[in-house]
Amino acid sequence: MTGALIGLMQTARRLRGNKDGVGAVEFALIAPVLIILYMGSLEISVAMSVNKKLARASSTVADLITQEESVDKVYLTSMVNVVESVMTPFRSEGVRVKVTGIAINGAGNATASWSWQDNGSRPYSAGSTQTLPADLAIPNTFLVRTEVEFDHKLLLVLPGVSDIDIRTLKMAKTYHLRQRMGNSVTCSNC
């Protein structure tokens, strides 16, 4: 019995002094954390890029509409293609577009003159009160508001799991712009 105990103690001394494989063990402990940090930073940078493109798409639509004195549903429907072009290379089947013409009366109260949504409906009824940032509510003016929403699907987080809702980021951008010609932008069939 003492011989076995002595052999066990000698083996323990040899293992305690042996440094082979320490780097592999340290790597095995640190690698998962580093991989998660890398994937997270990639997801954040892609989401920031999508957010910038969404803001650019919203401002581009407002810019194009405010260059016109009058628009119609056909013209507004073409704005969906504009948004999809700006959002390239990101998948744009989750894009939703709303455009509203807002008249601000002499008292500074904003009401919807017309509105259009990409599904063909009216998101705001004519004459409905609209809330604007205080610095935009200038009496006797007109604004075009574009609202673009996008569901960004995350690339790397849990790729095989479909039951988890954190795989989609719901992003939205709103942009207000004044008309460039005339006193307002009208919509003939909105």
Decide if pLDDT at 164 tops 60.
no
Mean pLDDT, all residues of the chain: 86
**Mean pLDDT within 74-84:** 93
pLDDT on residue 10? 80
d(CA 144, CA 114): 10
pLDDT on residue 157? 57
φ and ψ of 19, to 5 deg: -105, 5
Position 11 confidence tier, pLDDT thresholds 50, 70, 90: confident
d(CA 144, CA 62): 6
Per-residue pLDDT tens digits for 56-71: 999 999 999 999 999 9
Cis ω before 133 (30° cut-off from 0): no
Per-residue pLDDT tens digits for 114-139: 999 998 889 999 989 999 988 888 99
